[in-house]
Structure 1
Amino acid sequence: MSDPAVRHCCRQMTSRLEHVCALHPNPFDCPDQVVIYSPRFREYGLIIHDGGTGVISIRFCPWCGSTLPV
């Protein structure tokens, strides 16, 4: 889930991070949740949907190409 105080690089990223699924309260269980943000580390990642909580860190936005914080 997204931190409301954080401005993300584009509307698409913000929209994907704010996605709320009525069927899957845990973002790692929802097949429609593809990206996650960790405010503690200021990191973005792609969720690996294999039944766990794995994430692949990303350095660029998949939608607008902006450089993300490292």
Structure 2
Amino acid sequence: MRTWEREGYTVVEKEFDYDLHEFEVVKGEEVVATITPSDIENMNEIIEALDAGEDVNGWEDGSGNTISVK
């Protein structure tokens, strides 16, 4: 599992459902959001975006909520 460092928070990849992983957005010691991809293709798109340095603010968490890390 991988971790991506951003200014003010960290994104941590976690096992979720067999090959499908979810991503916890952690600020300090608190999980402020969990991004749950709908399928493997969506999960790979999330990983590519994180690898490219994208910020998760404004992303949808998979449950219809917009992520805002303040």
Both structures adopt the same fold (TM-score exceeding 0.5): no
Structure with greater proportional strand content: 2
Greater helix fraction, Structure 1 or Structure 2:
2
Q: Which structure exhibits the higher relative contact order, with contacts defined as CA atoms closer than 8 Å and separated by 6 or more residues? A: 1
Output the TM-score relative to the length of structure 1. 0.31
